[in-house]
Amino acid sequence: MAFLTDISLGQYYPGDSFVHRLDPRTKLLSILCFMTALLISFEPIVLIGFSILTLVIIASSQLPLALVLRNVRPFIWLFFLTIFVHVFLTPGRLLYTMPLMSLKITYEGLTLGLIYSVRLVLLILLAALLTLTTSPIELTDALERMLSPLKRFKVPTHEVVMMLTLSLRFIPTLLEEAQRLKNAQVSRGASFEGNVVQRIRSIVPLILPLFISAFRRADDLALAMDSRCYTGGEGRTSFRKLVFKSADYLVLLAVLTSLMLLIIF
C-alpha cells in the first residue's frame, strides 16, 4: 500500500511562483480548457506539445518534480491495461504475433494505446498541479464565483461548492488514516504482501475502520461548523476578493486561442 503516500491530490504546496499568484478562476478555466483539448485531440504531435507545456507549467510553479510525478505511480497499472487492451483488440497492420496465445499486436493498437496512456498521464498531472498550487479556500471562492449565476435558479451553490471542497480536502486525510490503520495491522502481524488476490483480501479488514473514521471526522466537522454558527452561504462574504490581473487575462487569452486553433485545425 505504498501508493497511499504517492497521491498528493487535494494537498496544497505553499509557494510564491507565477502559477501560485494566478487567480484561481484563471487556473480552473485553463485546466478545463487543457483537459477539453486533450480529450478531443488524437494527434501525437499535439500530445507532445501538451507534454512540453505541462513540464513548463511545473517548472514555472517551482514545485518539486518528484512531488508532481509521484501522482502518476498509483495509476501505472491503468496505463499498462490501456495499452494492453488497445494493442491486442484494435485491428490494423500486424506488427507481431505472440506464439503461445496467438495474440496479434497491431501498429494502430500500439499507437492508440500510447496516445490514451499519455492523455491519462497529462490529465492526472494537470489535476495535481491545480490542487498543489491552489489552496482549498481559493478553490472554494473561485468555484462559488463561477457558479454564482445558478443562484437565480435557487441552486445552493455555496453549499455544493463547500461539499466539493471538503471532499477534496479530506482525500489526503483519509489516505493518511488508511496508512495509519495499515501500520497498526502490520504491528499485529498482518501481511500486505503476496499476489493480487492476497493483497485485496488483506485490504478488506481496513475498509470498515476507515469508513468509521470517515464518519467520525464528518460528525466532528459538522459539530465544529455548528458551534461556529455556520448557517450556509446566505449573506456570507469573503476575506479575500478575487480580482483578475493582467497576467490572468494574458494566460486566458493564450489558452483560449490555443484551444480554438486546435478545434479549427
How does pLDDT run along the chain (265 residues), one tens digit per residue? Answer: 444 555 656 678 888 899 999 999 999 999 988 888 888 877 888 888 888 888 999 999 998 888 888 888 888 888 888 888 888 888 878 877 777 667 778 888 888 888 899 999 999 899 889 888 988 888 888 888 888 888 888 888 878 888 887 777 777 778 788 888 888 877 877 776 766 677 777 777 778 888 888 888 888 888 888 888 777 666 666 777 788 899 999 999 988 888 887 777 6
Cβ atoms of 138 and 24 within 8 Å: the answer is yes
Q: How far apart are CA 186 and CA 89, in angstroms?
A: 41
**φ and ψ at 262, to 5 degrees?**
-65, -40
pLDDT, position 250: 93
Cell of 141: 471562492
Q: Say what the pTM is.
A: 0.76
In this structure, what is the dihedral angle of CA atoms 36, 10, 118, 109, given to the nearest 10 degrees? Answer: -90
Cell of 180: 495509519
Q: How far apart are CA 143 and CA 243, in angstroms?
A: 14
pLDDT, position 100: 65
CA distances from 34 to 65, 98, 124, 133, 250 (A): 20, 38, 12, 16, 16
pLDDT, position 202: 74
CA distances from 56 to 6, 11, 30, 52, 148 (A): 22, 21, 14, 6, 32
pLDDT, position 177: 82
Q: How far apart are CA 182 and CA 203, in angstroms?
A: 8
